[in-house]
Chain A
């Protein structure tokens, strides 16, 4: 770890490269923010070392000794990724009301998760999603497929996080994006390898406090400075939204300027708040499809589901969702504030095209907030990406070591070997994620949304039917997975095709109705239907599984 920190420090002088960018918002090395970032990252590593995993139980499920509020914080921290911290404001900055479909999708999904799954998953008592699938559907093949899906979903999700880490490292250090991704990715990898989930869980609580504080402090300053109700910025920014709709004339907020010397003014821009505005290029259907896909994806994400194993009882699992959602909402109520103020502060075309994914930081910068506080904000963004990535790497490596290696390849593996395999899995995943993240595919939140749709089409139906209908059997599960998998493959093929410039058959139709960010709207119902139909036509679920469901999960 020491060597890694030395490497980072040694790269800093190379990265000092003054910018000629006219807006001066990015490109140069920023000393204060860099110190804050390094301090926070060192703190994470230190906490990881102190609370490091001692055995496999610790590694996978943190010894099941975490309180409800603590677990809620860990859920929130685990959840509040770069997509929440950076990506959500980015979406609203670019597409206005359409971006709120992500806010609703990512919070509303917790209601489904709670009422349909949380307690039952905890009572089922399995460590990983693949464990549940393999056990409930009494199939080694399904366990293996479940593990592979969990790994793919974790990778897809983590690509967006590495993108966020790269953006923030780039902003702080003024280095190239790809180098920033490598450095940031190396640090998060080192930390996860050292700590495992026990460290991760403890760290997540610390990370939550850092994330939420760093996100909130600039909001109070910005709303105070620009004359909005600053005591509760999450309500006070309503006037800013209305101001954007109606426009702000220079005389209305005379004397208020952004850091580039532009007046705090904007032409009437109803497109920012009006639903599915034609100029956003987004439609009502897409709004609904995104919200729905994200919701069911939430209830099917392996690293989210896995959080319920770290509480002692099902009751704790339920209440930890309430706490988790509350902590998450604190951030989700706040993200639109950045978007609204960022819209006004960057309204002058001279500001130029800003990277939407960094709009949170740019807003603070344009608002002329103290650079150290802006640095803290950037560190919060990195922290958000770190906390989620750690959880994803643990979930992915658990699937690799526990579900693939131990349960399929080498059932007699000793705990020490399991740990080694888990760490090898983490390393492999990190390398793959880093490589994909270097190709700037889409906005962070959109990349993450792909993972949600994948989960919604594959894992969600298996959990939903597996818990609530004993009639769902192995053949039905396989049929559902095949259907969900086909929808996923079709959508992703068209996404890659669009990026590569291919024109595939029914291109417009498929890219619109099976968009990569929301294909679960149809994929999940089809997978559920296939599961039900095939289950009805094939031999019933074995008695012991049905008995287990009645006696352990629903009693």
Chain B
């Protein structure tokens, strides 16, 4: 072999084996890149920010409150929406506290004024108990929660056996009637942040129980990777057999 030929470049293969191998690698690489990045780009291109139902009802209710045209129902729906957001596990502590403040305030607007001090005491009692108990199954603690649910849930239009009712007692502030000005400003932004999601036909189609895009990324892509690896090994073995290529053990 001439000196000049001792050069190797992926893009300029000099032998049949190298060329075949290069072509195989290019095909697999393109499949790999399109499957991963192509899909995510497609997801990004076709997505739209879609609000949850709770945000739509919250926004309508909040607008009426801000314009001074609020009814009982407006306070009920914003409280329900805020409780729903407080039930999300991704919520940040500061945001949770702001919504807690807002929920208590909304409740105070629909709860009989003369009974409010009693309810406030119940909430304070629950919060004190929470500091003392060693188990969430503590009987007194559970009873204290039930008392609040039975009083406050109907006022907010929440069914007693529902998930929102379960979240209600722990989502109430000690100071029911007050809403800090800072929280008043923050609440619409918080609601919008947690209740708006990027959705498209790929996220809304259900496949084998999964949202399709989730199945594709979490399950299918991994199968695809193994498939690509298997194809590469299989084709390389075939190529080596065809060329009578023997590997040394060293």
A binding-site residues for B, Cβ under 8 Å: 20, 22-24, 93-97, 100, 103-104, 107-108, 110-112, 114-116, 119, 123, 125, 229, 234-236, 238-239, 241-242, 245, 247-251, 260-263, 265-280, 284, 287-288, 291-292, 312-315, 318-319, 321-322, 325-326, 329, 332-333, 336, 343, 346-350, 353, 468-471, 543, 546-547, 549-550, 554-555
Interface size class of B (residues with CB under 8 A): 35 or more
Determine the chain A residues whose CB is within 8 A of the CB of B6 once the complex forms.
470, 543, 546-547, 550
B12 to chain A, nearest CB (A): 10
Q: How far is A24 from B133 in the complex, measured between Cα atoms in Å?
A: 11
B163 touches A280 (CB 8 A): no
Please choose the segment from B61-69, B71-79, B215-223 that sits at the chain A interface, where 4 or more of its residues have CB less than 8 A away: B215-223
Kindly list chain A residues whose C-beta atoms are within 8 Å of the C-beta of B115. none
CB of B201 within 8 Å of the partner chain? no
Are A329 and B222 in contact, CB atoms less than 8 angstroms apart?
yes
Chain B residues within 8 Å of A347, by CB: 87, 89
Which residues of B line the A interface, CB within 8 A? Answer: 1, 3, 5-10, 15, 17-18, 24-25, 28-29, 32, 36-37, 40, 43-44, 47, 49, 52, 54, 84-91, 93, 96, 130, 133-137, 161-164, 166-167, 170-171, 193-194, 196-199, 203, 206-211, 213-215, 217-219, 221-223, 225-226, 228-230, 232-233, 236-237, 240, 247-250
Please, which residue of chain B has its CB at the minimum distance from the CB of A24? B135
Residues of A near B86 (CB, < 8 A) are: 349
- Nearest CB in chain A to that of B163: its residue: A265
Is there an interface contact between A263 and B210, defined as CB atoms closer than 8 Å? no
Q: Which residues of A contact B250 (CB under 8 A)?
A: 125
- Residue on B nearest A353 in the bound complex, by CB: B93
For residue A19, give the distance in angstroms from its CB to the closest CB of chain B. Answer: 8
Residues of chain A within 8 A (CB-CB) of B247 are 123, 313-315
B214–A97 CB distance below 8 A: yes
- Nearest Cβ in chain B — how far from A326, in angstroms? 5
Residues A238 and B9 in contact, CB atoms below 8 Å apart: no
Q: List 14 A-B contacts (CB under 8 A).
A: A20-B134, A108-B221, A114-B232, A238-B214, A238-B215, A265-B166, A267-B167, A271-B194, A279-B88, A312-B249, A321-B229, A325-B225, A543-B3, A555-B17
A103–B218 touching, CB < 8 Å:
yes
| Residues of A close to B240: CB separation below 8 A | 315
Q: Is B236 a contact of A318 with CB atoms below 8 Å?
A: yes
Majority-rule SS of A interface residues: helix
Once bound together, how far apart are the Cα atoms of A214 and B49, in whole Å?
40
- Interface contact A249-B163, CB-CB below 8 Å: yes
Cα A354 to Cα B77 with chains together (Å): 30
Residue of A nearest to B247 (CB): A313
Min C-beta distance of A549 to chain B, whole Å: 5
Q: Are B25 and A116 in contact (CB under 8 A)?
A: yes
Which of chain B's residues has its CB closest to A97's CB? B214
B88 touches A288 (CB 8 A): no
Partner of B137, one of A119, A236, A261, A469: A261
Among A94, A235, A270, the residue within 8 A (CB) of B208 is A235
Q: Which residues of A contact B137 (CB under 8 A)?
A: 260-261
**B136 is contacted by which of A23, A123, A234, A329 (Cβ under 8 Å)?**
A23
User: Chain B contacts of A555 at CB under 8 A?
Assistant: 15, 17
A residues less than 8 Å from B248 (CB atoms):
313
